[in-house]
């Protein structure tokens, strides 16, 4: 398998600075200040470094990102919002609508490179240069709204890439599977009335954005039935995620018959993530990748492009990421991590629990799956 890999050192230069805002540690005035913002370059760099030392990086096909154009961005965003980000970035910087999304000096250029990196990955897969691809981009994108930055996201990388696949490359049906622990609300909003883009988000119930992503939201108008939310209970582990894939995600993909599958690959459903309360192990993420790739092989010639989203555990983001890229490339490295041994063998309730199965059945009923 030829797997493309998008990376650029400048992705690490989107500077989110020091912690601030309602959710982050020094906001109260009672904590020692001067810690980094939760969304910083560390976990992404460590993911890339593990690919490197494992030897897997050498077996991937490098894909150079480019800056997305304003024309590409405005298939999803308003022109006024794009210009607003450019101005903030060129001046003193600013924040998104939720007070936690930093637009620092130079963020605009890095965010263009992030969106453009996912577009390039889509082109490489559609051209057949590679079979599939992982775009380790930053900043992330799935909370970004057409007219606002939100949840550490500036531009909707995956949404913009989906529009590219449709408008420029002429694909009729594109599916987006979002396994970030938070709801992919921006992506959902962008395609809510669109029957040509199936949006699926698995997330921790009511985690972020607050109250976002209920199972009743299934799309509207012509897009009715083309949005699937799977709000899993906190504590869901490998068993719940695998069952949700087998009973919901894969059947929904089979029904939709996509020509390309995009994955919003957040690694914050891991068992050690500070911004989520799920228990997915590296092995579990590898299994999800495997199930998805098997479906893609049947449905769309294996065409899968994954774009990195969240993930804040210094240890588990790299190991989860490695497990996913191993599946994409069809290569097993000799890396054996001590953390992996803790799951699922030594952490309780990794197996599908009755209340998790009940939720899956409610979603299946609403979606007619």
Q: By the criterion CB under 5 A, which residues form the site for Zn ion?
A: 180, 182, 266, 268, 310
3-state secondary structure of 95: strand
Is the CB of 275 or the CB of 299 nearer to Zn ion?
Answer: 275
Distance separating alpha carbons of residues 48 and 66, to the nearest angstrom: 19
Which DSSP category does 221 fall into?
A: G
What residues have CB less than 8 Å from 28, skipping those under 6 apart? none
Q: Which does 326 bind (CB under 5 to 8 A by kind): ligand 6DK, Zn ion, none?
A: none
- 348 binding ligand 6DK? (CB under 6 A): no
Nearer to ligand 6DK by Cβ, of 37 and 287: the residue is 37
| Secondary structure class of 232 (helix, strand, coil) | strand
| Closer Cβ to ligand 6DK, 97 or 331, answer by number | 97
3-state DSSP assignment of residue 111: helix
Which residues in the 157-176 window bind ligand 6DK by CB under 6 A? none
Shortest Cβ 361–Zn ion spacing (Å): 25
Report the C-alpha gap between 253 and 176 in whole angstroms. 10
Looking at 84, 143, 164, 203, which residue is catalytic? 143
Q: 3-state secondary structure string, 8-20?
A: CHHHHHCCCCECC
Q: How far apart are CA 167 and CA 161, in angstroms?
A: 10
Least separation in angstroms between residue 128's CB and ligand 6DK is 30
Among ligand 6DK, Zn ion, none, the one that 219 touches (CB under a kind-dependent 5 to 8 A) is none
* Binding to ligand 6DK, residues 188-217 (CB under 6 A): 208, 210
Q: How far is the CB of 269 from ligand 6DK (least distance, A)?
A: 10
Q: 289-328: which residues touch ligand 6DK (CB under 6 A)?
A: 309-310
Does 28 bind ligand 6DK (CB under 6 A)? Our answer is no
Rama region for 99: left / alpha / beta (φ>0; ψ in -120 to 50; rest): left
Q: How far apart are CA 330 and CA 1, in angstroms?
A: 6
8 assigned to active site: no
User: If binding is defined by CB under 6 A, does position 268 make contact with ligand 6DK?
Assistant: yes
Q: Which is nearer to Zn ion, 186 or 223 (CB)?
A: 186
300 CB contacts (<8 Å, ≥6 apart)? 258, 259, 260, 261
CB of 320 or CB of 364, closer to Zn ion = 320
In the complex, minimum distance from the CB of residue 180 to Zn ion, in angstroms, rounded to a whole number: 4
Name the minimum Å distance from CB 99 to ligand 6DK.
7
Residues 132-151 that bind ligand 6DK (CB under 6 A): 140, 142-143, 151
Contact between 176 and 249 under an 8 Å Cβ cutoff? The reply is no
Cβ closest to ligand 6DK, residue 3 vs residue 100: 100
Query: Whose structure tokens read 């199965």?
Result: 357
Q: With the CA atoms of 53, 54, 56 and 57 taken in that order, what torsion angle do they form, in degrees rounded to the nearest 10?
A: -10
Q: What is the DSSP string of 242-269?
A: HHHIIIIIHHHHHHH--SEEEEEE--TT
**Closest CB to Zn ion among residues 45, 182:** 182
Question: Least distance (Å) from ligand 6DK to the CB of residue 276?
Answer: 8
Which residue reads 């790299």 in tokens? 318
Nearest distance, CB of residue 42 and Zn ion, angstroms = 15
Retrieve residue 164's tokens. 């590219």
Q: How far apart are the first and last CA of the chain?
A: 32
Question: Which parts of this chain interact with ligand 6DK (CB under 6 A)?
Answer: 22-23, 39, 98, 100, 140, 142-143, 151-153, 180, 182, 208, 210, 266, 268, 275, 309-310
Residues annotated as part of the active site = 143
């Amino acid at each position: 398998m030829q797997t493309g890999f998008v990376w650029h050192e400048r992705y690490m230069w989107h500077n989110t600075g020091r912690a601030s805002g309602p959710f982050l540690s020094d906001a109260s005035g009672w904590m020692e200040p001067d810690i980094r913002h939760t969304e910083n370059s560390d976990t992404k760099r460590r993911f890339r470094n593990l690919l490197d030392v494992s030897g897997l990086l050498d077996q991937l096909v490098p894909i150079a990102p480019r800056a997305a154009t304003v024309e590409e961005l405005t298939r999803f965003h308003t022109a006024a919002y794009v210009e607003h980000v450019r101005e903030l970035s060129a001046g003193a910087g600013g924040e998104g609508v939720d007070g936690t999304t930093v637009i620092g000096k130079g963020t605009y250029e890095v965010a263009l490179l992030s969106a453009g990196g996912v577009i390039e990955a889509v082109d490489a897969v559609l051209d057949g240069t590679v079979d599939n691809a992982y775009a380790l981009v930053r900043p992330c994108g799935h909370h970004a709204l057409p007219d606002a930055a939100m949840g550490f996201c500036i531009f909707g990388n995956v949404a913009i890439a989906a529009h590219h696949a449709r408008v420029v490359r002429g694909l009729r049906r594109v599916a987006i599977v979002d396994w970030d622990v938070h709801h992919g609300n921006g992506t959902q909003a962008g395609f809510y009335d669109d029957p040509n883009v199936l949006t699926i988000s698995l997330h921790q119930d009511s985690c972020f954005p607050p109250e976002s992503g209920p199972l009743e939201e299934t799309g509207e108008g012509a897009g009715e039935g083309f949005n699937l939310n799977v709000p899993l209970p906190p504590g869901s582990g490998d068993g719940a995620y695998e069952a949700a894939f087998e009973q919901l995600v894969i059947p929904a993909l089979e029904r939709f018959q996509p020509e390309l599958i995009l994955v919003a690959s957040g690694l914050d459903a891991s068992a050690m993530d500070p911004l989520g309360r799920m228990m997915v192990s590296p092995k579990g993420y590898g299994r999800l990748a495997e199930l998805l790739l098997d479906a893609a092989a049947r449905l769309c010639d294996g065409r899968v492009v994954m774009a990195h989203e969240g993930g804040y555990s210094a240890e588990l983001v790299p190991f989860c990421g490695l497990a996913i890229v191993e599946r994409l490339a069809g290569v097993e490295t000799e890396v054996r991590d001590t953390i992996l041994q803790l799951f699922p063998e030594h952490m309780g309730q990794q197996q599908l629990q009755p209340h998790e199965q009940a939720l899956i059945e409610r979603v299946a009923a609403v979606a007619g799956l």
